[in-house]
Amino acid sequence: MDLQVEKINKISGVIKAPASKSYSHRAFIAAALAEGQSILRDPLYSADTIATLEACEQLGALFQRYPDKCIVQGTAGYIRTPENIIDVKNSGTSVRILSSVAAIAPRANYTIFTGDESLRKRPMQDLIDALENLGVQISSSQSNGTPPIIVKGGFEGGQTDIKGDVSSQFISSIIMAAPYSKKPVTLNVKGTFVSKPYVNMTLSVISKFGIDFEYDTTNIPEYSSYYIEPQKYEATDYTIEGDYSSASYILAAAAMLPSNLTVKNLYKDSMQGDKIIIDIIKKMGAEVTVDDDQIHIESDGNLKAFDINLEDAPDLLPTISILMAQAEGVSKITGVEHARFKETDRVHNCAVELENVGVDVEELQDGLIIKGNPTGGYVDSHMDHRMVMAFYVLGLKIGNIIIKDASCYDISFPNFLEVMHTISEK
């Protein structure tokens, strides 16, 4: 589906932010591992999170879906091996976290994960290596460190190391499965720790489901350690907060256009790294008021450039790049080399598509240098939901943008167009 974006004049109204994709993934998995029945309130049912939900069903959990809640009968850690290969479509979070979870199945059983063409290019070798040190038999079917991934049941535990500069999902994966290992697990994270807020989100979720852990930051630079003893997840009643990642497109639109907008269900004390979007649009010139559970933004649509390191919020790269693209001055985004290993190489593809709409951009190994004044043009989504939503927002500002293969926004924000139409004024 090609999507033509029309220019609008104003953003206004009151809107509820969509539920967090990251929290929904983790809550579905924790509830599936728990002993007893959990109630998950305000979950996100998107292509990615449904991939996790359906995979957990294949592993033995039972889910009852309702619009405002999901009731989950957990497995208490007694994972079954599915009859068929588990297809997680385009969801990297699903394949990475569930590869560790599948290892707690009975030792004689095998689970195979696959996905679409994009997912089968996602690097997994660092997770494979770390899990092998914990007694897990896991391999890439093509012996190239990418899915399909074959996991044999059996999670012994012990000690393992993992690099912190590739993907926080690898760390979250081991942490979420570790309570059902046979022996305590010590996970040492070495080197630069990127996207650490996502790991903190994981720890927050498992703690709500009754899991205890120890976290040690020593005096040794760039070294962290997690310690988890064998224990069981406990069923709970859990409410999923709004998603700063998805809300970033709403907030970006309100910053770059004349606006008077309130976004509910965004929490002031959230652990989400993408909460930094508030500070970014403030620095660029928007007026933002943050209450306990909502954000109010007013802007005249005139933004100023500045430099930002997005090491802890790489998913914001497309959003921030289009904000910078129409700001006055030259901006520099750094710290996002790991964004090259998302659904697509987001650093390169953002550079390419910004150039396609007339922006002067220089691609760095870990970011972009952007000079504004976009004129519009034809944008390839690269089948990346975040690219679609970011360039849609830019189109609201300048018009004259057509996005190829735009329907993939439903991976994380199924009613994105409906929400944007609600707050847009021509």
Q: What is the helix (H) or strand (E) element at residue 206, kind and residue range?
A: helix 196-208
d(CA 28, CA 398) in angstroms, rounded, equals 39
Q: What amino acid is encoded at 365 in this protein?
A: Q
Strands 149-152 and 185-190: unpaired
Three-class SS of residue 91?
Answer: coil
Three-class SS of residue 322?
Answer: helix
Q: What is the helix (H) or strand (E) element at residue 420, kind and residue range?
A: helix 416-423
Q: Which residues are annotated as a binding site for phosphoenolpyruvate?
A: 21, 92, 122, 169, 346, 386
d(CA 254, CA 67) in angstroms, rounded, equals 28
Q: Which residues are annotated as a binding site?
A: 21-22, 26, 92, 122, 167-169, 195, 315, 342, 346, 386
**Which residues is 161 bridged to in the sheet?**
188
**Which residues is 259 bridged to in the sheet?**
11, 299
Active site residue 315: yes
Two structure tokens written together for 369: 């240098």
Contact 107, 153 (CB under 8 A): yes
d(CA 89, CA 98) in angstroms, rounded, equals 13
Three-class SS of residue 273?
Answer: helix
Q: Which residues are annotated as a binding site for 3-phosphoshikimate?
A: 21-22, 26, 167-169, 195, 315, 342
How long is the chain? 426
**Which residues is 87 bridged to in the sheet?**
114
Catalytic residue among 42, 243, 315, 384: 315
Phi-psi region of 149 (alpha: psi -120 to 50; beta: other; left: phi over 0): beta
Contact 391, 403 (CB under 8 A): yes
Catalytic residue set: 315
